[in-house]
Amino acid sequence: MNALPSTDVTDVRTDKKTLRRVVGASAVGTTLEWYDHFIYGSAAALVFPQLFFPEGDRLTATMLSLVTYAVAFVTRPLGAAIFGHFGDRYGRKNVLIVTLVLMGTATGLIGVLPTYHTVGILAPLLLTILRFVQGVGLGGEWGGAALMVGEYSSSGKRGFLGSLVQIASPLGLLIANAVFSVTTYLVSEDAFFAWGWRVPFLLSTLLVAVGLWIRSQVQESPLFEEEASDKDEKTPLRTVLTEHWRPLLIAIGSRVGSDVAFYVVNVFILVYGTTQLDLPRQLLLNAVLAGAASQALSILFWGRLCDRLGRRPVLLLGAVGSIVWAFAYFPLLGSGNTALIVLAPVVGNFFIAAMWGPLAAYVPELFPTKVRYTGAGLGFQSAGVFGGAVAPIITTAMIARLDSWVPVAIYLAATLLVLVVCVLLAKETASTDLREVGR
């Protein structure tokens, strides 16, 4: 297997210690942001319907809870635009510190919110506002973390080093579900609904303090500093929308399918498993934990491979594998066999990792340095509006109305076909010199 031609991207003699610090700071900070995001997802499926919405039909309450979960996906592009602007104009480092504080503060406040039984309709309103803030923070986080690693790396290693940033998502999911799983194991169900569910949210405040210390040790991106004096007269957002709209659309389309697949496999499983299959909550949480571990390990494999084969072949392999697995996933969950139930998300996340691992390198490679924070962040986060934001709601409605998993599998396959088309229309970027993008 021959490696793709490699061109040194930065020509910066970055020592290994500095590079490790940059990668570590990006990975740790982004892991904490995803942890905050996923503990909300778990709580939205397991806890919030009972505590933050009027008593009544359980499925309706769950859908209302998932609507608040979707709010963050809608606000993430807003966060990408706001923080992308400041990141492209004034630097990446300080913006990444702000996003971490914003996300951690909102998450900690969720942990002390009064419930519907205490303050009535004010409870879901406050929950939605804090979820809005979470979305803005996460929207500004990913683009900066991904491009910081890319702008410090040589082209032959961007895929693998970028995959270390992408590991943040399954690690965040793994930690979030592990905390929920341990909490549910240690306390009774009554205690869990009384106060135990708050523990994962309050824990975030301690984790953020660690993340801030690590992130404060990182220097500014060398490519940004080179072009800091060459300010574009237009705002970064306007430049992206008018001059780089094609790579923006490709970035959005290249992620939508993987986003839907991720939330069907790792979040919807909690809804489908408890409401339709009557499976134990602990078993489902353990299955999600196994799937997250599978994805974390697989991301490294696919990240390394995309440096050798290219971004496009790896993304396509993941999409095709996920389409096939979509029609095996639900029958395995319905088998009643513990091993097969756990196997379903493990294999599903292996293919999702192929679509997820290359993105931290692939998406920033589509945009020039002067608008890379805005373009990469907006492309990545806008996909969530059409993917993760609506996927849990659509799938829950499908199950409720049609009482069959087949439409869900078809819906997932259709979104993955969008990914296939967009990747086929894109150029290979693995050997791209980041200085030359857009010139």
Angle, vertex CA 91, rays to CA 246 and CA 28, nearest 5: 90
For helices 58-90 and 122-152, the axis angle rounded to 10 degrees is 40
Range of the domain at 192: 16-222+235-426
Residue 179 lies in a domain: yes
| pLDDT attached to residue 4 | 52
Residue with tokens 């599903």: 348
- How far apart are the C-alpha atoms of 68 and 59, rounded to whole Å? 15
| Ranges in the chain, pLDDT < 50 | 1-3, 5-13, 233
Residue with tokens 């945009």: 367
Residue 8 lies in a domain: no
What are the two backbone dihedrals, phi and then psi, of residue 113, each rounded to the nearest 5 degrees?
Answer: -65, 140
Residue 410 lies in a domain: yes
Residue 3 lies in a domain: no
Residue 357 lies in a domain: yes
Q: Where are the alpha helices (DSSP H) in 334-434?
A: 338-356, 359-362, 372-386, 391-402, 406-425
CA Rg value for the chain:
21
Residue with tokens 């392999």: 317
CATH number of the structural domain spanning residue 402: 1.20.1250.20
Residue 199 lies in a domain: yes
Structure tokens given for 196: 């135990």
- Classify 56 in phi/psi space as left (phi over 0), alpha (psi -120 to 50) or beta: left
- How far apart are the C-alpha atoms of 271 and 264, rounded to whole Å? 10
Closest alpha carbon to 183 in 101, 253, 282: 282
Q: Where are the alpha helices (DSSP H) in 153-244?
A: 158-166, 168-186, 189-194, 199-215, 222-227, 236-243
| pLDDT attached to residue 410 | 95
Residue 439 lies in a domain: no
- Give the count of domains, the chain: 1
Structure tokens given for 282: 């602990």
- How far apart are the C-alpha atoms of 436 and 154, rounded to whole Å? 14
| pLDDT attached to residue 58 | 67
| pLDDT attached to residue 2 | 45
- How far apart are the C-alpha atoms of 278 and 289, rounded to whole Å? 19
Structure tokens given for 207: 């984790």
Residue 2 lies in a domain: no
- Classify 203 in phi/psi space as left (phi over 0), alpha (psi -120 to 50) or beta: alpha
| pLDDT attached to residue 23 | 87
